[in-house]
Structure 1
Amino acid sequence: MRVLVVEDDRGIADLLVRGLERAGYEAAAVSSGTEALTASPEPDVVLLDLGLPDMDGTEVCRRLRTRSDVAVIVVTARGEEGDRVAALDEGADDYLVKPFGLAELLARIRAVLRRVRPADRELLSHGDLTVDLRTRTVRVGEREVALTPKEFDILEVLAVDPGRVVSRQEILERAWDEHWYGPTKVLDVHVAALRRKLGTPGLVETVYGRGFRLGPAAGQADGPEAP
């Protein structure tokens, strides 16, 4: 998922980009409306400040809406009702007033994506593994796999980008809470149960010292796996 931060305050933009990347998003920042309108490739989500140096954010939103259904979340210090109404009337999907917490921003991104994401992006496939984000069901081949909510959340984090090594901390932050500071051993218990239920050796791989990833689509590990 690509997120474009449109923010002329470099400090705020950098904080948002780092927070989004820690949450597993591909993030970039631009500082003007013109750059937002010409960004390539097109993002999945735009976090749009209203007070831009070259044009008002509502105008950026209006122009985006003439050509795209990209999700737009306004993030601004302007909290007056008139500003909210104007942005929403121009097609913004949500409106968030600064200051705000990263947890709330991530929750709003997830909510917006659930509303606007096409159906084909609700289905993640990797070899024989199919993860349906809409119904929260998992199949390996023709077999449906019953997972606990937390096991499903872990698998979703890995299945969004098969092959990418996801750190323990990132999984804990995304599947539990972005402010998780507890022991990471709880993750091992859930991963062990997930492996057992999937029943495909090597599918969920441990990359020692780095984290976990989904292995080759055929389910054949290309490296040693933890017991």
Structure 2
Amino acid sequence: MILIVDDEPHVRRLLAAILSRGGYDVAEACDARSAMPLVARAEAVLLDLGLPDRDGMELLSDIRRVSAAPVLVVSAREAAAEKVAALDLGADDYVTKPFDGDELLARLRAALRRRGAEPARAVTAGDVVIDTERRSVTKAGAEVHLTRKEYGLLAMLAAHPGRIVTHAQLLTVIWGPAHVADIAYLRVAARALRVKLEDDPARPVLIRNEPGIGYRLVV
């Protein structure tokens, strides 16, 4: 689980969407008080410095006393002195806002690898292998070419193998909050995935629809 600590709801939503796209489970906290109880379970922490109840530097120091998980500071503070101070307190990296989502994911993966905490990024379902590290999908050893939306749907399902991912979660992350009710988009992408991945698309066994709820990847 990756813990996001930021007092701005829109930033938390953006970070959560980026992390979900990368295959990570997410927890959120809006201040230091609500963050600390979650730190022990976190694989990594994305930390803003401008928190309402305590300065993020103080929270960073507290995190380092109880956890060795990677901490990436994600802050609008650009001064070199701020970056040096955060790194001296134990931050693994410092990303300034605004940030690029793909770069953020790459920095997170690098930090996890350095700490020896990078989880397995490949999920196997039947003869299909989804490798979210390399963003590749194979069936019976042969590479399968997917569109960006098809891959986004499959990657989100692979991030929660065997569990239902709701329509709203999938639409919000892959198509954006404005399309949270556009279930037809999901049906089209799921149908395309079944054609490419299922032995019999008319009788899917890997990508299962839970009527009125969402989809799950059967592993």
What residue in structure 1 maps to residue 108 of structure 2?
A: 113
> Post-superposition shift, 1:83?
1.7
Q: Give the direction of change, closer, same or farther, for the CA distance of 1:209–1:53 in structure 2 (3 Å limit).
A: closer
- Alignment of 1:209 onto 2:209: no
Q: Say if 2:43 and 2:69, in contact at 8 Å, map to a contact too.
A: no
| Alpha carbons of structure 1 residues 180 and 87: separation in structure 2 relative to 1, 3 Å | farther
What's the RMSD between the two structures over aligned residues? Answer: 3.9
- Percent sequence identity over aligned pairs: 26
Contact 1:32 1:54 in 2 (8 A): yes
Which residue does 1:164 correspond to in 2?
Answer: 163
TM-score (norm. length: structure 2): 0.69
Opposite residue 86 of structure 1, the aligned amino acid is: A
Aligned residue identity for 1:135:
R
The 5 Å alignment of 1:105-144 reads 109-118=104-113, 121-144=120-143
Shift of 1:48: 4.0
Question: What number of residue pairs does the alignment pair up?
Answer: 205
Q: Distance in 2 between matches of 1:169 and 1:74?
A: 27
CA contact (8 A) 1:74 1:87 kept: no
Kept after mapping to 1: 8 A contact 2:70/2:92: no
C-alpha change, 1:149 and 1:54, in structure 2 (3 Å) is closer
Q: Tell me the distance in 1 between the aligned counterparts of 2:170 and 2:38.
A: 33
TM-score normalised over the length of structure 1: 0.67
Q: C-alpha separation between the residues in 2 aligned to 1:89 and 1:179?
A: 41
Distance 1:207 1:109 in 2: 33
> Where does structure 2 lack aligned partners over 5 or more consecutive residues?
none
Whole-angstrom CA distance in 2 between matches of 1:136 and 1:51:
34
Q: What is the match of residue 175 of structure 1?
A: 174
Is the CA contact 2:172–2:178 (under 8 Å) kept in the aligned structure 1? yes
Paired with 2:151 and 2:38, the residues of 1 have a C-alpha distance of 37
Distance 1:190 1:128 in 2: 20
Q: How does 1:12-31 map to 2 (within 5 A)?
A: 12=7, 24=20, 25-29=25-29, 31=31
Query: What secondary structure does 1:27 align onto?
Result: strand
5+ residue gaps, structure 1, are: 218-227
